[in-house]
Structure 1
Amino acid sequence: MRAKYAVKQISVFLENRKGRLLEVTEALKEANINIRALAMAESAEFGILRLVVDNPEKAKTALSKCGFTINEQDVFAVEVDDEPGSFHKVVRVLAEDDINIDYTYAFVGDSHKAVLIFRVQDESIEKALEALSQNGVQLVEPIFFYS
């Protein structure tokens, strides 16, 4: 099940200085890469920009050529109704199966649906996908993100 639902996320490590995010977006624009989802976490000295893009391999190449330090992780996505309690339902299923969520981010899609992206430990992905599927949570196939 993991291979069917694994979405490639690219993490870009950025010095916390003026213009650095602009350089990332410029590199992706020049490579004709579409950003489908993103989240950014920062500290005083650096930030981590997490991206789901339409062509992860091409994006990694473009960013590496520009000198960015990048990493790739498997994440998974679920689609829920865009209404109160939907996020809670997913988190509850994972918690009840003793699956720790490293981080999550979301965006609102079409048709009053929200897409939630989750990162759990690699050894927990299969267990998470199985638990969610068994509890009626709609898993999102990677083709949703890729061109």
Structure 2
Amino acid sequence: MEVKQISVFVENKEGRIKKAMNTLAEADINIRALSIADTTKYGILRLIVSDNKKAIEALEKDGFIVKENEVLLLEIPDKPNGLNSVLTTFDEKGINLEYLYAFVSSKPDVATLVMRLENMQKAKEALQDNGIKLLKKEDIQFL
């Protein structure tokens, strides 16, 4: 299933990520997963949060540029070569992986991944055809 992720563009300056975190905390937004990619001038903070609409409003009000896009959220076996089985599926179908990040799962022996792919529909079909479990946002807990 597709899940909406928010991407926050952050200047690569001291205190900017902390400011974004404070903005989310003040809006009572819980973060379930995050990734930061940076360059010398800016970074992209990618987040799966408890309330996208509320998070986007708060961040934009505080001067951040925010984009929402779809990602796939999936479970793989937490064992050697677990990720490679998914990547092999994409290679066989000619699907380009744009990025991925992982976060802790409460389930033993399971890793949870967030993925953005060039062709999301084709990727979703390939994963389902290979028995790889796709998750919905409701499947991850916001404590």
CA displacement, residues 122-147 of structure 1 (integer Å, 9 cap, x when unaligned): xx111111110110111111212476
Letter in 2 for 1:18: E
Q: How many residues align?
A: 141
1:36 aligns to 2:17 (yes or no): no
Name the Cα RMSD after superposition.
1.2
Distance in 2 between residues matched to 1:145 and 1:20, nearest whole Å: 27
The residue type equivalent to 2:134 in the other structure is L
Task: Give unmatched runs, 5+ long, in structure 2.
Answer: none
1-structure distance, mates of 2:3, 2:117: 12
Question: How do 1:1-147 and structure 2 match up within 5 A?
Answer: 5-112=1-108, 113-121=110-118, 124-145=119-140
Return the TM-score normalized by structure 1: 0.92
Shift of 1:54: 1.1
Deviation at 1:94, TM superposition (A): 1.2
Instruction: Name the % identity.
Output: 42
Deviations 1:50-77 (A, max 9, x none): 0010111111011011010111110011
